[in-house]
Amino acid sequence: MVGNKKIVFEKYEMGKLLGKGTFAKVYVARNLSTNEFVAIKVIKKDEVIKDERMMEQIIREISVMRLVRHPNIVGLKEVMATKSKIFFVMEYVRGGELFAKVAQGRLKEDAARSYFQQLVSAVDFCHSRGVFHRDLKPENLLLDENGDLKISDFGLSALHEHSPNAASHSGSAGSKLLHTQCGTPAYIAPEILARKGYDGAKADIWSCGVVLYVLLAGFLPFQDENIAAMYRKIYKAEYECPPWFSAEAKRLLSRLLVPDPSKRICMAGITRVMWFRKGFKRPNAFSMQESMFEKFDEEEKLMKHETIKKSPSSPAFLNAFQFISSMSTGLSTMFDDERRKPDSTFTSRCSAKVIMGKIELIGKKFGFKVARTKDFKLRLVGPAEGRKGRLSVTAEVFKVAPEVTVVEFSKLAGDTLEYIKFREEDIRPALSDVVWTWQG
């Protein structure tokens, strides 16, 4: 706290409250070193840990926003945590919701086309990464200071079950069907209402069609005071185009708002339509290698001669992304970056000091040289040359709550089979008295 100003992590000066929900509040903040303004979502950690659905939603949102770095998507800069709170540091989008602009009246066709082009470009990129938004609507489309569109709120999004590239740009029939009914009724695709499984890409394309109609008309294509009647209109795609719609726009809408998803136009088809192509410039998606998140230093020298230094009484806060990743089996496979992921993780109710001492003893028992590379991170170097050189393993300890400690094991060098043997036959049995649960 500096005067009346609250400083978090000695990095951000917190500003006014932008909005709040059940478990989270969003503030504007200023980066003290760059003067850049950001939006910070603050989430109560104890509520997240107690609520499995909330945990899943946060895991999903972090994993999705890590995958979809694009000029027309709100960027996630970093995620941090204290004992009691998780902080999402996001791009601050000053222009408000596109909904507010549409609420003032319909847009001219060129303006509507420009926003639709940006929307399709971003959604197409999401689909190429195996991400389906599932709640596309003007309220979730923000405008920056230049008037460019930014997709936000990936809390209801879905991730393809396999690799990010497994989902095609068009949402192929081979994609695994989704079954969760979610989204906003007026923008929801008919196949979602049918509760029979649906292709996430095709459902997003329907919502894009509804958004385009709203931009051009200033009102919804499917509306009725009776929700059942509105659903019947959606099932049959019963809508009327106002007289000011151009013939080309009507033709595109007739291919977007098709009840049968197998007959609905795909993303590649949209980008070939002449009405869409007018003035279109495809943005360059940000390189996925430009991760804003902490990476492990793979070039560290083996600490053969480093002495173990005195550490503080408790570990530093755990990067929230690491914490949530460690609590979610298989999450790490969803990311396409160079960050070294933990090979195995366990949680414990013992203190960090006890766990560190235990791992040191185990390492020395099996002939490993043990050194502390930084506070609460150990390096274990094997006693002999293996098939691929000396085995080198790290063990890092994090405190995530007063009663919960997380320990991550990673192989830095050496043969993988030798590492698995050491981990499964030596490490795991020897740590049985301090382990609460294993992941990975």
Side chain identity at residue 130, one-letter code: G
Taking only the tens place, the pLDDT of each residue in 149-207 is 999 987 666 665 433 333 334 343 334 566 665 667 899 999 988 877 889 999 999 99
- CA distance readout (Å), 40 to 23, 35, 65, 113, 143: 14, 15, 14, 31, 18
Taking only the tens place, the pLDDT of each residue in 94-150 is 998 999 999 999 999 999 999 999 999 999 999 988 889 888 999 999 999 999 999
Residue 23 has what pLDDT? Answer: 75
- CA distance readout (Å), 416 to 36, 334, 420: 43, 21, 6
B/e letters for 366-388, b = 16+ CB within 10 Å, e = fewer, are: eebbbbbbebbbbbbbbeeebee
244 class by beta-carbon count within 10 Å (0-12 exposed, 13-18 middle, 19+ buried): exposed
- Tell me the binding residues for ATP: 45
Nearest to 242 by CA among 140, 107, 117: 107
Nearest to 435 by CA among 358, 361, 347, 360: 347
Q: What is the DSSP string of 286-327?
A: PPTT---S----TTPPP-SSPPPPP--SSPPBPPHHHHHHHT
Residue 420 has what pLDDT? Answer: 87
Asked if 175 and 199 touch (Cβ cutoff 8 Å), the reply is yes
At residue 83 the predicted structure's pLDDT band, cuts being 50, 70 and 90, is confident
Q: Is the pLDDT of residue 281 over 70?
A: yes
Side chain identity at residue 35, one-letter code: N
Give φ, ψ of 294 to 5 degrees. Answer: -60, 135
- CA distance readout (Å), 268 to 71, 101, 271, 292: 19, 28, 5, 30
Q: What is the DSSP string of 417-429?
A: HHHHHIIIIIIHH
Distance CA 316, CA 129 (A): 33
Residue 437 has what pLDDT? Answer: 76
Residue 272 has what pLDDT? Answer: 96
At residue 5 the predicted structure's pLDDT band, cuts being 50, 70 and 90, is confident
Annotated catalytic residue 144:
no
For residue 393, what is the enclosing H or E element? strand 389-401
Domains along the chain with CATH numbers: 7-91 (3.30.200.20), 98-277 (1.10.510.10), 340-439 (3.30.310.80)
The least confident of 14-18, 275-279, 392-396, 434-438 is 434-438
Residue 313 has what pLDDT? Answer: 52
135, 343, 375, 426: the active-site residue: 135
CA dihedral 73, 317, 59, 166 (to 10 degrees): 70
Instruction: State the average pLDDT for the chain.
Output: 80
Share of the chain above pLDDT 90, in %: 41
Asked if 234 and 188 touch (Cβ cutoff 8 Å), the reply is yes
The least confident of 16-25, 36-45, 228-237, 324-333 is 324-333
Residue 298 has what pLDDT? Answer: 33
- Tell me the binding residues: 45
The top-scoring range by mean pLDDT among 20-34, 245-259, 331-345 is: 245-259
For residue 216, what is the enclosing H or E element? helix 200-217
7: β partners? 13
